[in-house]
């Protein structure tokens, strides 16, 4: 029997028209309504795969992180969202890929690694759910499986103010200032020793500290004006 063909992947550096249209619209809304600002964008390269890890405050987070960039980010979202009318269509057409909330399947991990090695930036929220307080919660270790299967940079990101603009029980976008900080990349050699079996907790703590530093910087920036 002939070998199964690998799925054809989109360009990892060129945005499709659906995302490009959303991006232009959101830039106007977020800039004026949320006084949205982002810095550290230059730390995200124009080419090459990697894993973006961020704290999670709101459903806005993937948009806030992806909007300032000129290349797409392929976020992972719980599979149940893809069954919601309209939302499911938007997710499928803006590079989002489903993942089980209870347990990351081998297929999901394999596809995510394949996308990163193809040159995509893949995004994940290691807290697993939106923070109830806006503070950075504990990280679930699921992302470690991705780090062990690839040797690509990790890009820590911090979001501040999104929980006030659109909290867990909110349906209307409120005019609170939102800031995002892209931190220095975590190079593969920095975490290579922590990928060894038995050092999972150290690896999770190391990455969380880098994301926490970005979030604290973003929060201080948000409150400075």
The contacts of residue 138 (CB under 8 Å, 6+ apart) are: 127, 208
Cα–Cα dist 22/214, whole Å: 26
pTM: predicted TM-score of the whole model, two decimal places? 0.91
Q: What is the pLDDT of residue 33?
A: 96
Residue 198: CATH number of its domain: 3.40.1130.10
In a domain, 121, yes or no: yes
Count of structural domains within the chain: 1
Q: Is 161 left (phi over 0), alpha (psi -120 to 50) or beta?
A: left
Q: Six-digit token pair at 191?
A: 């975490």
Report the pLDDT value the prediction gives residue 88, as an integer from 0 to 100: 82
| pLDDT of res. 4 | 42
Q: Could you give the 3-state DSSP secondary structure of residue 73?
A: strand
150 within a domain of the structure (yes/no): yes
Q: Is residue 98 part of a domain?
A: yes
In a domain, 84, yes or no: yes
- Distance, in Å, from the CA atom of 122 to the CA atom of 131, rounded to the nearest integer, reads 21
Residue 15, SS3 per DSSP: coil
Which among 98, 105, 114 is positioned nearest to 149, based on CA atoms? 114
Q: Are strands 121-124 and 97-99 parallel, antiparallel or unpaired?
A: unpaired
Q: Is residue 11 part of a domain?
A: no
Other beta carbons less than 10 A from residue 194's beta carbon: 18
Q: Is residue 135 part of a domain?
A: yes
5 found inside a domain: no
Note whether 153 and 186 are within 8 A (CB): yes
Query: Around Cβ 60, how many Cβ atoms within 10 Å?
Result: 22
Owning domain of residue 31: 17-223
What pLDDT, on the 0 to 100 scale, is given for residue 108? 82
Kindly give, in sequence order, each residue whose CB lies less than 8 Å from that of residue 48, ignoring residues fewer than 6 positions away.
119, 152, 153
How many Cα neighbours within 13 Å face the side chain of 137?
14
- Kindly give the parts of the chain with pLDDT less than 50: 1-6
φ, ψ dihedrals at 198, nearest 5°: 95, -5
- Work out the angle at residue 127's Cα, subtended by the Cα atoms of residues 170 and 209, and round it to the nearest 5 degrees: 120
Is residue 106 assigned to a domain? yes
């Amino acid at each position: 029997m002939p070998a199964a063909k690998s799925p054809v992947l989109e360009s990892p550096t060129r945005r499709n028209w659906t995302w490009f249209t959303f991006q232009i619209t959101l830039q106007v809304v977020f800039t004026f309504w949320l006084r949205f600002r982002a810095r550290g964008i230059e730390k995200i390269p124009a080419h090459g795969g990697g894993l973006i890890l961020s704290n999670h405050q709101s459903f806005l987070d993937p948009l806030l992180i992806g909007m300032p960039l000129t290349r797409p980010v392929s976020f992972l979202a719980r599979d149940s969202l893809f069954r919601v009318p309209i939302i499911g269509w938007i997710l499928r057409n803006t590079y989002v890929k489903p993942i089980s909330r209870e347990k990351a399947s081998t297929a999901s991990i394999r596809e995510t690694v394949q996308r990163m090695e193809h040159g995509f930036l893949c995004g994940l929220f290691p807290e697993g759910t939106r923070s109830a307080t806006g503070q950075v919660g504990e990280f679930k270790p699921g992302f470690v499986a991705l780090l062990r299967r690839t040797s690509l940079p990790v890009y820590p990101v911090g979001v501040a103010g999104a929980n006030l603009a659109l909290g867990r029980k909110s349906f209307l976008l409120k005019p609170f200032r939102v800031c995002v900080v892209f931190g220095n990349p975590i190079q593969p050699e920095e975490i290579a020793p922590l990928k060894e079996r038995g050092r999972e907790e150290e690896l999770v703590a190391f990455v969380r500290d880098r994301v926490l530093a970005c979030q604290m910087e973003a929060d201080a920036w948000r409150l400075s004006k």
